[in-house]
Amino acid sequence: MFIQLIKGIFLIKIIFFMKNMIFIKVMFLNFFLFHLLVRLLESVYIKGLGIFGGEKMSKTFDRYTGIVFLLIGVFFIVESRKIAASAYGSSVGPDIFPIVLGILLVLLSIKLLTETLKYRREKAEKEKVDYKQFGIIFVSAVLYVALLEPLGYVITTFFFLLVGFQVIEKGSWLKSVIIAAAFSAGVYFIFVQLLQGSLPGFPI
Amino acid sequence: MNTLEFLLNGFSVALQWQNLLFAFFGVLIGTAVGVLPGIGPMSGVALLIPITATLTSGLDPQSAAASAIILLAGVYYGAMYGGSTTSILLNTPGESSSVVTALDGYQMAKQGRAGAALSISAIGSFVAGIVSLIGLTLLAKPLSALALSFGPAEYFSLMLLGLCAVSGLAGNSITKAMIMTVFGLLLATIGMDNVSGVSRFTYNNANLYSGLEFLTVAVGLFALGEVFRTIIDRDKENSNVTKVGKILPTKQDMKDSTAPIVRGSLLGFFIGVLPGAGATLASFFSYIAEKKLSKNPEKFGRGAIEGVAAPESANNGASGGAMIPLLTMGIPGSGTTAILMGALIMYNVQPGPLLFTDHPQVAWGLIASMFIGNLMLLVLNMPLVKVFAKVIETPAKYLLPIIIAISIFGVYAVQFNTFDLALLLICGLLGYALSKHDYPVAPLVLALVLGPMIENNMRRALTASNGDFSVFLTSPVSLIFLIIALLWIGIPLLMKMKGRSVLVNEEG
């Protein structure tokens, strides 16, 4: 009686397992077919909706990146060959993966470079970009990072935020000072005092 | 134990008071992230990793991982709720999966039906969230059982498929997406090789021995990249926020949107499960489907509630569906899930088939918390819609520098060195320049996370076969994966050659 029960359970388990397998196979197939369907449908309808219209292609930028990635690929191939090749008598050492990837990157960059030749002529569309504002913020971020350890968290964060607020939009100094002070002191207090974390404190 | 018991155990984890709190803050921050321009779900999740790391530092490793992932996942699906708010009220989507919502949502807002649109999208998101969670619960066991039967060769091919799928759908140019993927894989090789112990490309720089820190790269590329773009390309006009008006939808609204919500949820879920096809594609697609099915399609674009209900359900369904390949197989299908995976790895929890047996607390706790989190979002969003609408008015002046400061704080709090901060700023510049010129950054991060695993599985498979590369082709499962991977890249290429434009997933 007991053995029969176990046999019965076993049988049910096997049937269940097979069902699962079939179910999963069908599911995989369905996903795949569904995906193809999606692809076909969207290719038909996408033009009607016209949201993803604008092609953003910059010939010069793509040329430069193509060359840069080409060089990176070459660099990785050359440098990988210097890695001590063998590991534990296995024929597959630590150098194979980067070499293969380096070759792939070189091939892809060449493909990108040839594609830039086919780009239609760029429209001379002057974008209104504000690099001056960004430049100031980026430089202050670099200074912030560089001075974080010598000057401590609160002081550097305060000044960085103050500069950032005022550069993005000139406004009330008082409000900027209050928000910058509240943020830098608040983060420092919560993190160091309450959560026992460590941040560079104040210069001694 | 059966699935139901596991789920109940998960609830016992998720209902612990600190985890309820984590889920609550996760969805709250997520909604804010979705609402705020200049910060999307990817950067939101990346930014919060260091903060959760410090918050959970006192807990034991298992519950720390569970609590952290509960919060981070909350941010992820919370952002899907929040994204609709700006689409509807401002006509500027807070994140890319809400682009379609703006088509009809903003029109509804102009007609004074903003409240109805917002609440319908909250209801739709909730239904979709629950549908995708039920799917996740049912599929978790069979899928992870299947994945357990895979050897290294099968895993290698499956991961390759995941990468191909993501790069096939990201951005307008497959070449560029592939370049980013390969570049990410190359960056992943920097550091100590964990098979042979040989250091690669480190040049005696101590900071490089453990490899480029995934967190630094992700925060730099996504969060800083986005902030830099907002600073540079920001338009300075102030747009007016439409008044929310009456919140509850009318009976007619409910009747009209029931079917679209159900269809959108299912469609979103299945698209979400596919690697590479994320929430953006799902919302887009369900909108097209509704327009096609509708009796009077000319209503769409003029404030049809179906046009809000369907895409909003779809993008939430997709975000739930995207958790399936991540949790059961350890293959993230999108940029955000790649970041979630990186976070789990930081806690020494390897997502994949073993997750459900090794760390049931984490896996089922997360699933249960998502049920709770979705309920919280519904409760939060209905009455608080007006409050969140206020969040939109946060001046960029204060927001942008603070996001930079939070990024720097977060990376420093985890890494404790200036090297990573410098890397962070470089990645920020790269993220801006690359995504501006249509080089998708999501595949790069995905490759960075998957790189070590792909390499390990490849080398284990090759070691077992004595260096014979045909091992990837002789195993039938591996062969199938490779063929699908090839088709995934090949079909869009073919269609492009025929001169058709192909829809791409900008969210990644």
What is the tens place of the pLDDT at every residue in B303-358?
888 888 999 899 888 888 888 888 888 888 778 888 999 899 888 888 888 888 88
Whether A108 has its CB under 8 Å from any CB of chain B: the answer is: yes
Q: Are B178 and B160 in contact (CB under 8 A)?
A: no
Tokens read off for B296: 């009077």
Tokens read off for B196: 């042979």
Which residues form the domain of B371? 3-148+156-497
Phi, psi values for residue A90, rounded to 5°: -80, 145
DSSP strand pairing (B191-192 vs B199-200):
antiparallel
Q: Within a domain: residue B476?
A: yes
SS3 track for B19-78: HHHHHHHHHHHHHHHHHCCCCCHHHHHHHHHHHHHHHCCCCCHHHHHHHHHHHHHHHHHH
Whether A161 has its CB under 8 Å from any CB of chain B: the answer is: yes
Phi-psi region of B203 (alpha: psi -120 to 50; beta: other; left: phi over 0): left
Q: Mean pLDDT for chain B?
A: 85
Per-residue pLDDT, averaged over A36-59, amounts to: 45
ipTM: 0.84
- Which residue in this structure is represented by tokens 């210097």? A82
Please tell me the distance in Å from B114's CA to the nearest CA on chain A. 23
Whether A141 has its CB under 8 Å from any CB of chain B: the answer is: yes
Which helix (H) or strand (E) element contains residue B191?
strand B191-192
The pLDDT of residue B506 is above 50 = no
Distance, CA of B263 to CA of B250 (rounded, Å):
21
- Which residue in A86, A168, A179 has the most chain B C-beta atoms within 10 A of its own C-beta, making it the best mutation to test that interface? A168
B463 and A92 within 8 Å at the Cβ level: the answer is: yes
Phi-psi region of B211 (alpha: psi -120 to 50; beta: other; left: phi over 0): left
| Partner residue opposite A168 with nearest CB, options B55, B281, B401 | B401
Q: Which of B171, B498, B265 is nearest to A40 (CA)?
A: B498
A108 and B182 within 8 Å at the Cβ level: the answer is: yes
Instruction: Please give the C-alpha separations between residue B229 and each of B50, B111, B402, in angstroms, as whole numbers.
Output: 23, 33, 15
A101 and B462 within 8 Å at the Cβ level: the answer is: no
Per-residue pLDDT, averaged over A113-119, amounts to: 84
Which helix (H) or strand (E) element contains residue A185?
helix A173-188
In this structure, the number of other CB atoms found within 10 A of the CB of residue B494 comes to: 11
The pLDDT of residue A67 is above 60 = yes
Q: What percent of chain A has pLDDT over 90?
A: 36
Q: Within a domain: residue B227?
A: yes
**Which residues make beta-bridge pairs with B192?**
B199
Which residues of chain A have a CB within 8 Å of the CB of B196?
Answer: 87-88, 93-94
Please tell me the distance in Å from B139's CA to the nearest CA on chain A. 9
In this structure, the number of other CB atoms found within 10 A of the CB of residue B233 comes to: 14
Q: Within a domain: residue B508?
A: no
| Partner residue opposite A101 with nearest CB, options B175, B185, B274 | B185
Whether A101 has its CB under 8 Å from any CB of chain B: the answer is: yes
B387-439 pLDDT per residue, tens: 777 777 777 788 889 999 999 998 998 888 899 999 999 999 999 999 888 89
A145 and B495 within 8 Å at the Cβ level: the answer is: no
Distance, CA of B354 to CA of B360 (rounded, Å):
9
A197 and B195 within 8 Å at the Cβ level: the answer is: no
> B412: which residues sit within 8 A by CB, 6+ positions away?
A148, A199, B420, B421
A43 and B495 within 8 Å at the Cβ level: the answer is: yes
Q: Within a domain: residue B214?
A: yes
Whether A204 has its CB under 8 Å from any CB of chain B: the answer is: no
Q: Which residue has the higher pLDDT, B369 or B95?
A: B369
A131 and B142 within 8 Å at the Cβ level: the answer is: no
Scan residues 163-182 of A and list those with Cβ closer than 8 Å to B. Answer: 163-165, 168-169, 171, 179
Residue spans per domain, chain A: 1-54, 59-117, 131-194
Distance, CA of B190 to CA of B213 (rounded, Å):
10
> B244: which residues sit within 8 A by CB, 6+ positions away?
B89, B114, B115, B118, B385, B386, B389
B454-494 pLDDT per residue, tens: 998 898 888 888 878 888 988 888 999 999 888 888 877 77
| Partner residue opposite A104 with nearest CB, options B182, B277, B484 | B182
Instruction: Kindly report which listed range (A136-150, B40-54, B173-187) carries the lowest average pLDDT score.
Output: B40-54
Measure the CA dihedral A43/A45/A50/A52, to 10°.
-40
The full DSSP string for B238-257 is PPPPPP----SPPHHHHHHH
Instruction: Please give the C-alpha separations between residue B438 and each of A61, A191, B36, B176, B341, in angstroms, as whole numbers.
Output: 11, 38, 23, 8, 25
Whether A119 has its CB under 8 Å from any CB of chain B: the answer is: no
Domain count, chain B: 1
Instruction: Please give the C-alpha separations between residue B261 and each of B257, B258, B296, in angstroms, as whole numbers.
Output: 6, 5, 18
Please tell me the distance in Å from A1's CA to the nearest CA on chain B. 24
Collapse the DSSP code of B200 into the 3-class scheme (helix H, G, I; strand E, B; otherwise coil) and give the result.
Answer: strand
